[in-house]
Amino acid sequence: MPSRLIWDCGTAYDLFISLVVMHQPEEYNLRASWAAGMRSRLPGPEREFLEQLGAFLEVPLEWVLSLPAPKDGLTALQVLKQLRPADRLPALFLPGEDFPTLRDIVQSVYERRTWHKADVDAARAAIRQHEKGVLSAEQVEKMLGWWASPEEFGERYLSALQAYYEVFFAEEERRISPALTEALARAQRLAEQMELPLLVHELSQGVQFENLSHVPEWVFAPSFWSTPLVFYRQISPERVLLVFGARPPDASLVPGDAPDGLMRPLKALSDSTRLRILRYLFHEQPLSPSQLSRRLRLRAPTVIHHLHVLRLAGLVQVMVGAGKERRYALRPEGIATTFAHLQEFLEKEE
């Protein structure tokens, strides 16, 4: 039986995604100086609080999905205000059922209102095992400290989110709303023409998930700030949420900058190691980071960094299977699109 497709849309996704991007600009190829300038507009206590959260800040996808229409920034703030302060942290940031070990740890800390060194060690091990990155003991202690003080977290997070909305996002969501509406309509048209694997590949700009057909229900939602990356969440065995990039190639995260669809690929192609990676992927079957590492004689973390830059530029596609290691392949349409955008930019008159 074909999977059921559900469509969702709202700027609340970008409220939280933009907050993550602002505090991790290098991960999303956003100019760090611009992001720092935007953060500096926040009042000091709220800015310092959000920067403390920066290393482990997540996007509460399931919570946003549950919001009522119109699912914008004000809706998110209003629903958040209605929750008791102590309930805001678990409502937004409790790890999903696909992350059971960390979920159990933070729930225990939340109930005990205290943490121990064993909790820190167990949480760090769970994070490493789940490929959520590597957090230092100090970072994990800060994270568990908030789970032990959920009332204070709830008050401070609401205050910080309100300030962020007022100084930045209220204006930003007016800019991005038309692009979200257009992207949703385009995705729905594509869904009438494509099978699910091709649809996911197209909307994600180069991600292939193995064994898609076993999930009965897929929820798709557009995001301006995530482009070209996707936020993927297995909400339950029966439902997957995929937030896909919706920023047009002729637009930029930084208003007034050259289009991201042109600048990111050109920057990616300016590095000799990344050019060599593309050449290997051109001549061979999809390769894992470890396979590329051996060919390039570089450390795997270095190769993964270069692959991330190429993925942001839309020049490679990634195959996500059941195992931990991903495989990468050349994305020929990304190469062709880059040169088409360059030609278009050169021909455009001021």
Q: From first to last of the 350 residues of the chain, give the pLDDT tens digit.
A: 678 999 999 999 999 999 999 999 988 889 999 999 999 999 999 999 999 887 777 899 999 999 999 999 999 999 999 999 999 999 999 988 778 899 999 999 999 999 999 999 999 998 887 655 678 889 899 999 999 999 999 999 999 999 999 999 999 999 999 999 999 999 999 999 999 989 999 999 888 887 666 789 999 999 999 998 899 888 888 899 999 999 998 889 998 888 888 888 999 999 999 999 999 999 988 999 999 999 999 999 999 999 999 999 999 999 887 656 789 999 998 888 888 888 888 887 66
CA neighbor of 115 nearest in space, from 148, 139, 153 = 148
The three-state secondary structure class of 340 is: helix
User: What is the Cα–Cα distance from 65 to 16, expressed in whole angstroms?
Assistant: 12
275-327 pLDDT, tens digit per residue, is 999 999 999 889 999 999 999 999 999 999 999 999 999 999 998 876 567 89
- Quote the CA–CA distance of 331 and 277 in Å, as a whole number: 12
Q: Are 222 and 188 in contact (CB under 8 A)?
A: no
Measured between alpha carbons, how far is 194 from 205 in angstroms, rounded to an integer? 15
Q: Which two tokens stand for residue 161?
A: 């989110």
List Cβ neighbours of 281 (8 Å cut-off, separation of 6 or more).
287, 316, 328, 329, 330
Q: Which residues contact 20 (CB under 8 A, 6 or more apart)?
A: 57, 58, 59
Residue 190's CB is within 10 A of a number of other CB atoms, namely 13
